[in-house]
Amino acid sequence: QVVLSRQYGSEGRFTFTSHTPGEHQICLHSNSTRMALFAGGKLRVHLDIQVGEHTNNYPEIAAKDKLTELQLRARQLLDQVEQIQKEQNYQRYREERFRMTSESTNQR
């Protein structure tokens, strides 16, 4: 299932938030028709992947929402608590899947 599909020129940047747990794959395709790529040429790709509350640009958020330093710190803490809750839910999900697999294997 494709969750997000984007096309860019020579450079591009996007932010993506997944609301489903599990493994995600990133697929990159070049639309270059130059034969140099097939004749041993090089294509350079740089990926900077950030996850969790580290993806938020808090100085930008503070400027946009006109937050005081205390309000910004409270927001950071709330984001961290939310990330911990998500991680706990994901671990519960994994534990449930493992238990189901174990029980199925045990029945066989």
Instruction: Kindly tell me if the per-residue pLDDT of 82 is higher than 70.
Output: yes
Percent of the chain with pLDDT over 90: 18
**Is 87 inside any structural domain?**
yes
pLDDT tens digits for range 10-59? 677 777 777 776 777 888 777 666 655 565 666 677 777 777 666 677 78
* Residue 105 phi, psi dihedral angles, 5° rounding: -65, -40
Return d(Cα 38, Cα 30) in angstroms, integer. 12
Which pTM does this prediction carry?
A: 0.51
Check residue 8 and give its pLDDT.
74
Check residue 88 and give its pLDDT.
92
Handedness of CA 29, 32, 34, 36 (dihedral sign): negative
Check residue 3 and give its pLDDT.
72
**Which letter does DSSP use for residue 35 in this model?**
T
Range(s) of the domain holding residue 62:
58-107
Q: Where are the beta strands (DSSP E) in 21-93?
A: none
**Is 24 inside any structural domain?**
no
**Is 68 inside any structural domain?**
yes
Do 76 and 53 meet the contact criterion of CB atoms below 8 Å apart?
yes
How many structural domains does the chain have?
1
**Is 19 inside any structural domain?**
no
